[in-house]
Amino acid sequence: MFDTITGPAERRMILSAVRARYDARAAGRPVLPAVYTALEDYRCGILAPVLASLIALVEACAPATAPPENESRLLALLEDGEVTEGAALSSALRGAIHSARIMIAMALDTSGAGRHPLRFAVTG
């Protein structure tokens, strides 16, 4: 069900969200609008709260000094779901990963079946 996360376009989308969050924090700007804008390039802005929260939780479990560390860690977690951190937040991280994987799969569903309420055009 979650094989869509490992494709190159999906990886670029997730990396874009991580970088947008990192850049916004470094510049002292609000994170969520920056992540939303990055994800909306892929028509997946609806995932902004999910990914912004997951990235924050990944950072809380094992702080990184630069985006590449978080990028690699987040992609690995989303692809295999294995949480190896022994932090007290690891249980929360497992739940967040599972939820994010479901939300990403739903948002990226291109079957045209129209079953998923997350696929809609943003106007305005």
Is residue 81 within 8 Å of 101, Cβ to Cβ? yes
Its pTM surpasses 0.85: no
Structural domain boundaries, residue 51: 3-107
Is residue 42 within 8 Å of 13, Cβ to Cβ? yes
- Total domains in the chain come to 1
- Is residue 74 one of the residues assigned to a domain? yes
Query: Can you give the pLDDT at residue 79?
Result: 80
- Is residue 32 one of the residues assigned to a domain? yes
Per-residue pLDDT of the chain (124 residues; tens, 9 = 90+): 444 466 788 888 888 998 999 899 999 999 999 999 999 998 899 999 999 998 888 887 777 666 677 787 788 888 876 766 665 667 778 888 888 888 888 887 755 554 444 444 444 3
Query: Can you give the pLDDT at residue 116?
Result: 43
- Is residue 72 one of the residues assigned to a domain? yes
- Is residue 118 one of the residues assigned to a domain? no
Q: Directed axis angle between helix 48-61 and helix 31-40, to 10°?
A: 120
- Is residue 115 one of the residues assigned to a domain? no
Separation of alpha carbons 32 and 53, rounded Å: 9
